[in-house]
Chain A
Amino acid sequence: MAMAALRREGRRFATPLISPNPAIALRSSIIPSQEQVSSGVRCISTQIVRNRMKSVKNIQKITKAMKMVAASKLRAIQTRAENSRGLWQPFTALLGDSASVDVKKNVIVTISADKGLCGGINSTSVKISRALHKLNSGPEKENKYVVLGEKAKAQLVRDSKKDIELIMTELQKNPLNYTQVSVMADDILKNVEFDALRIVFNKFQSVVSFLPTVSTVLSPEVVEREAAESGGKLGELDLYEVEGAETKSEVLQNLAEFQFSCVMFNAVLENATSEQGARMSAMDSSSRNAGDMLDRLTLTYNRTRQASITTELIEIISGASALEG
């Protein structure tokens, strides 16, 4: 009789560990509960719960440290990104950022991070790149990808393999500087034919908000074409005098190359800033989750501990009463 009661109690104490539901009342009735999952386990040892708590606490420490590191890197790179915005603004004022230009050869430059654990920014960049690809597809039109960064590479390789032209990775071994970005821009210019370059990156608005952006850089021929026909803002280029021994088309070519390099520099910096910001918020929410999990595990641990003490007491008392009676 006593042993049956004990067995029932033991099984009921075991279920909280399998589903830590604080609603299960422990000490009240001896009615066997119908939702027992594991039989044959009288009391789970507190060791398992303790191990789990230790690992969750370690994870919390690690994610907190990662958040601090990301915060400090963010501060450094944010000032650089904001300062680099001044590089492309004159270009946009002069040559315009006409995202709606209809061209035959489109090259989509997707900028992403190399390391993970930074939230969803890489997926949004890839999503926008794919949308651009679809938007610009048509009978004579051609879309190619140039990928910067491992994360976008992993996603784009899955379904757009034949449209990829170049992949560049390992960008952040040295701190980002203009020379590196301009050498990469040079590589792109030399290896890829394009009428328009669309650079997809995450612009940094604030620590919690990153805006996926597309910047368009046109090739010099297209710029000339636009200047000649529409007469809109590009037509005003004729108002400017060209000094020196160069013709207007040479100046336009130099300007277009330099514009590409500047816009890419800004884009890479802004994406790096967004990456650090996203990593900071991801690690912050993960350490908060770890803290919640730790609280729940502590409650479970205490319940298990008390249950095992109660079981021992019951054994002793029932043993003693069996001796008397």
Chain B
Amino acid sequence: MASNAAAPFWRSAGMTYITYSNLCANLLRNCLKEPYKSDALSREKVHYTISKWENGKPQKPTIRSDTPEE
């Protein structure tokens, strides 16, 4: 039996379950054939801006995006 402390490899690598399931979903989407594949991959696009705030002051916002910025 694998030791319970280090159980899933992705958990000990610092990923959350959400990241793990997104990666699996991406692998699955890449298994599709062409017309469905591009449809499915278009459902995966991510774009948003996030900024952390410390003590009432915003830090520099970062943009997380799949689409390259023009």
- Check A258–B1 contact: CB distance below 8 A: no
User: Which of B8, B47, B63 lies in contact with A180, CB distance below 8 A?
Assistant: B47
Whether, in the assembled complex, A187 has its beta carbon less than 8 Å from a beta carbon of chain B, the answer is yes
Chain B residues with Cβ below 8 Å from A168 are 48-51
- Check A171–B48 contact: CB distance below 8 A: yes
Quick one: closest A residue to B50, CB to CB? A168
Quick one: closest B residue to A187, CB to CB? B50
- Size of the B side of the interface (Cβ < 8 Å), in residues, is 31
Shortest Cβ distance from residue B37 to the other chain A in the assembled complex, whole angstroms: 15
Whether, in the assembled complex, B45 has its beta carbon less than 8 Å from a beta carbon of chain A, the answer is yes
Shortest Cβ distance from residue A185 to the other chain B in the assembled complex, whole angstroms: 6
- Check B18–A161 contact: CB distance below 8 A: no
Stretch among A228-236, A247-255, A282-290 lining the B interface: A247-255
- Check A186–B18 contact: CB distance below 8 A: yes
Shortest Cβ distance from residue A293 to the other chain B in the assembled complex, whole angstroms: 39
Chain A residues with Cβ below 8 Å from B7 are 245-247, 250
Shortest Cβ distance from residue A123 to the other chain B in the assembled complex, whole angstroms: 22
Whether, in the assembled complex, A27 has its beta carbon less than 8 Å from a beta carbon of chain B, the answer is no
Chain A residues with Cβ below 8 Å from B67 are 174
Shortest Cβ distance from residue B27 to the other chain A in the assembled complex, whole angstroms: 13
Shortest Cβ distance from residue B9 to the other chain A in the assembled complex, whole angstroms: 12
Given contacts A177-B43, A177-B44, A183-B22, contact A161 B56 (CB under 8 A): yes
Spell out A's residues near B (CB within 8 Å): 161-162, 164-171, 173-174, 177-180, 182-187, 189-191, 245-247, 250, 253-254, 257-258, 261
Which 6 interchain pairs have the tightest Cβ spacing? A161-B56, A162-B56, A254-B17, A174-B45, A180-B46, A257-B17
Can you add 17 more A-B contacts, CB < 8 Å, to A179-B45, A183-B64? Answer: A164-B53, A166-B50, A168-B50, A169-B49, A173-B47, A174-B47, A179-B22, A179-B43, A179-B46, A186-B16, A186-B19, A187-B64, A189-B18, A245-B2, A245-B7, A246-B7, A261-B18
